[in-house]
Chain A
C-alpha cells in the first residue's frame, strides 16, 4: 500500500518519519532541486528496495520525490520475481504516479560505497517537471520504439516552461542469443560454406532479435530515431546489463519489469545542466580495413582476411589460442577495444563475441577503418578529476556518470581508488557512477552518440 495513500495510519510512515513536506533540512532550503542517493546490499529484494529508497528519501529532507531511478545488479533476478518485489517495496514508499525508471547494471559507486551486488536508488525532488514512458519488446521494431517514446516524452513536457530538458534513457543491452550457442547451431556453422554462413547468420540475428528479443540491443537505432523528436534535449543513459555474462538484463518502469524494453524519463528544469563526455582510451595507431556485416554490427573481414584470423594475429595470439581459451581471452579483449571516428566523435566497442570467423559488436560500426585502442585506468581517473574541477565551485550539483561494465572488471579491487577520487572531487555533493552497457550522449542541437568505453557525466545544479 502506498505510504501516502492513507495518511491516517501508515505504520511504515510513522516508523520512517516519512512526513513529506514537513521536515526539511535547514541547509537544503536554498536548493531548488534536491537529490538523494541510497544503496543496499541486502540479499532479499524487498528489504533491499526498502532500505535503498528510505535512505534516498531521507536525504531529500522527506520532500516528495518528483522522480526516482532504481538500478540493481542482476542478483535479485535469481529469485523468482526478485526485481518486481524490489520495485514494489520502492513504490510503496513514494507517492502514487511518481515516475520511476531504471534497470539492471553490473555495478555502481555512490557516496555510501561501491558494489557489484546490490541496489541503488536516486530520488529527485524540487522545482522540476517530469514524465516517463516505456516501449516493450524493443528489438522487434527499434525505430518505432525510439520515435514513439520520443514523441510521448515531448508531449509530456510540452506544457513545461522550463528551458533545460534532459532525457534519461535505459535500453535493453546486448544479450547472447541462446539459439546461437546451441550445439546443433554450432555444428551447422562449422560445416556451412562461407557464403551460406553469412546468410544463415543474418537470418539467425533477425530471428533472435524479432522473436526472442535477444542479440544486440539496437541502442544506436533507437536513439537516432528518438533524436529527431528531441533535438533540444540533453540525453543521458545506457544499455542495461548483467554480471558481464551478457545473458539477461531487465528494465524497470514503475513497478513493472521488462526483459527487452526502452524506459525513458524526461525532466525539465531552469537549473544549469552540465554534460560532458570523455574518451579515456589510448590510440595504438594500428588500423584495420574491415568488411561489415548484418546491419553493421558484425566485422566479417579484416584487411581482406577472415576477421578472427587477422585480428588474433595482429594481437600476437595464434588463432587456436582464442578457440582454446575463449573465456580468458575475452577478459583480455575487453581491455583492447576497437574504435573509429565519425562526425567528429570517437566511438569504441568491445570485441568479445565471435561466431564462425566473424566478430560481433554491440554498436553499429559507421566506417570501414577501425583502430585498436587500449583502455587506460590512469586516463579514466584523470577524466573524473578534470570533470569535477571544471564545475563552477560556487554552485552545488548532483552528478550522474556512466561507464562501461567491463571497466569494473579491469579495476577490480582498485575500484576503491575511483570512489576516493569521486568523494574528494564531489565535495560532499551526491553522485552516482553506474557501470552499464555503453553510454548515450547528447547535448541540445547536436547528434546523439552511443559508444562503449566513454566516461560521461551529467550534473544538475541543486
Chain B
C-alpha cells in the first residue's frame, strides 16, 4: 500500500469510522476497487447485510461514472434502515462512500464527510 493510500485509510479508520453514526465507509469505484478498511472495523449491524449492500453500491457507481464529468457532487440512496451516501471525488468515477443509520442526523454527518473528502483530495493532489 502506498503512503497516500495509507493516509487515506487513516482518514477512513480514524476520522470517520470512529463516529458513532458511520457504520461503514470506503473510497471506492465500481466493484469496490479502492481503499476499503477491513470489514471488521465496520459496525456489526452492517455485516449482516453487507453482501446486499455491495451489489446495490455497484449499480450506483455506474451512475457516478456517467455523470461525474457534469459535476455530480453527491448521491444518497435510502435502503431500509440505512442511508448510503456517496461523496464523489470531483471529476472521477471514485467516491467516498458512507453507510449511516437512516435516522441519523444527516446534516451533521455531511459536515464531517465533506471534511474527509477535502482531506482526501488534498492527499491525492499532493505531488
Give A contacts to B, CB under 8 Å: 41, 43, 106-107, 113-117, 243-244, 327-328, 331, 408-413, 415-416
Give B contacts to A, CB under 8 Å: 14-15, 18-19, 74, 87, 103, 105-108, 110-115, 118
* Chain A proximity of B107: nearest CB distance (Å): 3
Q: Are B114 and A415 in contact (CB-based, < 8 A)?
A: yes
- Measured between alpha carbons, how far is A410 from B108 in the docked complex, in Å? 9
Question: Which A residues are in CB contact (< 8 Å) with B87?
Answer: 413
Q: Are B14 and A244 in contact (CB-based, < 8 A)?
A: no
Looking at the complex, which one of A41, A43, A113, A412 makes contact with B107 (CB distance below 8 Å)?
A: A412
Question: Which A residues are in CB contact (< 8 Å) with B14?
Answer: 43
Query: In the complex, what residue of chain B is closest to A117 when comparing beta carbons?
Result: B112
- Measured between alpha carbons, how far is A413 from B114 in the docked complex, in Å? 5
- Measured between alpha carbons, how far is A43 from B10 in the docked complex, in Å? 13
Q: Are B103 and A408 in contact (CB-based, < 8 A)?
A: no
Looking at the complex, which one of B18, B103, B108 makes contact with A116 (CB distance below 8 Å)?
A: B108
* Chain A proximity of B95: nearest CB distance (Å): 13
Q: Beyond the given A116-B108, A117-B19, A413-B110, could you list 9 further A-B residue pairs with CB under 8 A, ordered by the A residue number? A: A41-B15, A115-B112, A115-B115, A243-B108, A408-B111, A409-B107, A412-B111, A413-B87, A415-B110
Query: In the complex, what residue of chain A is closest to B21 when comparing beta carbons?
Result: A243
Q: Are B115 and A113 in contact (CB-based, < 8 A)?
A: yes
Looking at the complex, which one of A43, A116, A327 makes contact with B111 (CB distance below 8 Å)?
A: A116
Q: Are A413 and B113 in contact (CB-based, < 8 A)?
A: yes
- Measured between alpha carbons, how far is A117 from B112 in the docked complex, in Å? 8
Q: Are B115 and A408 in contact (CB-based, < 8 A)?
A: no
Query: In the complex, what residue of chain B is closest to A412 when comparing beta carbons?
Result: B110
Question: Which B residues are in CB contact (< 8 Å) with A107?
Answer: 108, 111
A selection of 21 A-B contacts at a CB cut-off of 8 Å is A41-B15, A107-B111, A113-B115, A114-B115, A115-B112, A116-B108, A244-B108, A331-B107, A408-B107, A409-B106, A409-B107, A410-B107, A411-B107, A411-B111, A412-B107, A412-B111, A413-B111, A413-B113, A413-B114, A415-B110, A416-B118
* Chain A proximity of B30: nearest CB distance (Å): 23
A331 touching B111 in the complex, CB below 8 Å, given contacts A41-B15, A43-B14, A413-B74? no
* Chain B proximity of A186: nearest CB distance (Å): 19
* Chain A proximity of B103: nearest CB distance (Å): 5
Q: Are A116 and B112 in contact (CB-based, < 8 A)?
A: yes
Question: Which B residues are in CB contact (< 8 Å) with A243?
Answer: 105, 108
- Measured between alpha carbons, how far is A107 from B110 in the docked complex, in Å? 12
Query: In the complex, what residue of chain A is closest to B113 when comparing beta carbons?
Result: A413
Question: Which B residues are in CB contact (< 8 Å) with A327?
Answer: 103
* Residue picked from A117, A244, A328, most chain B C-beta under 10 Å: A117
* Chain A proximity of B93: nearest CB distance (Å): 20
Question: Which B residues are in CB contact (< 8 Å) with A113?
Answer: 115
- Measured between alpha carbons, how far is A243 from B109 in the docked complex, in Å? 10
For the complex of A and B, 4 pairs with smallest distance between CB atoms: A409-B107, A412-B110, A413-B114, A413-B110
Query: In the complex, what residue of chain B is closest to A334 when comparing beta carbons?
Result: B107
Q: Are B103 and A328 in contact (CB-based, < 8 A)?
A: yes
Question: Which B residues are in CB contact (< 8 Å) with A412?
Answer: 106-107, 110-111, 114
A409 touching B103 in the complex, CB below 8 Å, given contacts A107-B111, A116-B112, A117-B112? no
Query: In the complex, what residue of chain A is closest to B107 when comparing beta carbons?
Result: A409
- Measured between alpha carbons, how far is A244 from B19 in the docked complex, in Å? 15
Q: Are B107 and A115 in contact (CB-based, < 8 A)?
A: no
Question: Which A residues are in CB contact (< 8 Å) with B115?
Answer: 113-115
- Measured between alpha carbons, how far is A323 from B54 in the docked complex, in Å? 33
Question: Which B residues are in CB contact (< 8 Å) with A244?
Answer: 105, 108
Q: Are B105 and A409 in contact (CB-based, < 8 A)?
A: yes
Q: Are B108 and A409 in contact (CB-based, < 8 A)?
A: yes
- Measured between alpha carbons, how far is A347 from B94 in the docked complex, in Å? 45
Query: In the complex, what residue of chain A is closest to B102 when comparing beta carbons?
Result: A328
- Measured between alpha carbons, how far is A412 from B100 in the docked complex, in Å? 15
